[in-house]
Amino acid sequence: MKLLRYGAPGAERPGILDKNGSIRDISSIVPDLAGQYLTPEWLQKIASADATSLPIVEGEPRLGSCVAQPGKFLCIGLNYSDHAAESGMAVPAEPVLFMKAGSSICGPNDNVVIPRGSLKTDWEVELGVVIGAKAKYVSEADALNYVAGYCVINDVSERAFQLEGTGQWVKGKSADTFGPTGPWLVTRDEVPDPQALSMWLEVDGHRYQNGTTSTMVFGVAHLVSYLSRFMSLQPGDIISTGTPPGVGLGQKPPVYLRAGNVIRLGVQGLGEQQQTVVADE
């Protein structure tokens, strides 16, 4: 299934993409795509519904984040060896963990807003993993059974805020609109191998990133198992799994986002995003 949320910011409704590409409203089945409603039991209720009997959503509504209000927005840094190299950092011996603020999450096609004082706002196409069952001390062999599905994430980053001051990376990762998520939550059954997905990103039509999840240092199953050692993962939590090479920081000379740029990105089978970059007022 391809699940989504549509409507004005703060008033999104849950939907499903039918086989003809039309959006069908599923609010009669679930109130939203969040938390407990992403567990196997609720996903089965959605899957069992007759999609042809559900209301069609007319027009082309705005899409919100495909997951509402995740309890945790976990991110993995330097998870592609060639991206670590372009960043001038060593390949980590174990996953590098940081978090983005939940308030950074926005719809897949919403504007990306450059924060005040930013000169180094950057892009990162990533595979997002959405948790569907409480995971605590799970084995790598069982880890994917705790996944509800997958989505596209643009881990927008302000490099000066992230790397040139003191403290952790979270400052450079958490500005409003720095977490476009979606367009869809594609359920696990439609992604038999999360380590075999191509991914790409363009700015103003120039392709900067062209990679594959097969080159991750730590795969999805390892990440879910690893993170569950340190905290319980809850339904609706999101893990953003790292980016392949081609970010602005790695260009020679570096290239950063400016107002008016258009970002397009996608992950195989998970859909595409498009954002226009604007300056904060």
Same domain, 171 and 38: no
Residue 92 is given by DSSP the state P
In-domain check, residue 273: yes
**Reduced to 3 states, what is the DSSP secondary structure of residue 71?**
coil
pLDDT tens per residue, range 14-53? 999 999 999 999 999 999 999 999 999 999 999 999 988 9
**Structural domains of the chain, count:** 2
Domain contains 120:
yes
What predicted TM-score, i.e. pTM, was given to this entire model? 0.96
The pLDDT value recorded for residue 100 is 98
Range of the domain at 39: 2-53
20 and 89 belong to one structural domain: no
Residues 34 and 78 placed together within one structural domain of the fold: no
The label of the residue with tokens 């039509």 reads: 205
| Residue 64 included in any domain | no
Q: Are residues 107 and 218 in the same domain?
A: yes
Whether the predicted pLDDT of 77 surpasses 90? yes
* 251 located within any domain: yes
The pLDDT > 90 percentage for the chain reads 93
Please provide the distance, in angstroms rounded to a whole number, between the alpha carbons at the two ends of the chain: 39
Has residue 65 got a pLDDT over 90? yes
Calpha distance 117→64 (Å, rounded):
27
- Residues 152, 16, single domain; the answer is no
Same domain, yes or no: 145 and 28: no
Kindly state whether residue 66 falls inside one of the protein's structural domains. Answer: no
**How does DSSP assign 254-278, residue by residue?**
-----TT-EEEEEETTTEEEEEEEE
Q: Are residues 77 and 37 in the same domain?
A: no
Asked if the structure places residue 180 within a domain, the reply is yes
Same domain, yes or no, for 36 and 161? Answer: no
Do residues 29 and 94 both lie within one domain?
no
Q: Over the chain, what is the mean pLDDT?
A: 96
**Based on the domain organization, do 79 and 22 belong to the same domain?**
no
> Are 39 and 175 part of one and the same domain?
no
The CA radius of gyration of the chain, in Å to the nearest whole number, is 18
Question: Each residue of 151-165: pLDDT tens digit?
Answer: 999 999 999 999 998
In a domain, 65, yes or no: no
* 59 located within any domain: no
CA distance 187 to 171: 31
DSSP three-state, residue 43? helix
CATH number at residue 127: 3.90.850.10
Q: Are residues 109 and 37 located together in one domain of the fold?
A: no
Residue 55 above 80 pLDDT? Answer: yes
Q: What tens digit of pLDDT does each residue of 169-226 get? A: 999 999 999 999 999 999 999 999 999 999 999 999 999 999 999 999 999 999 999 9
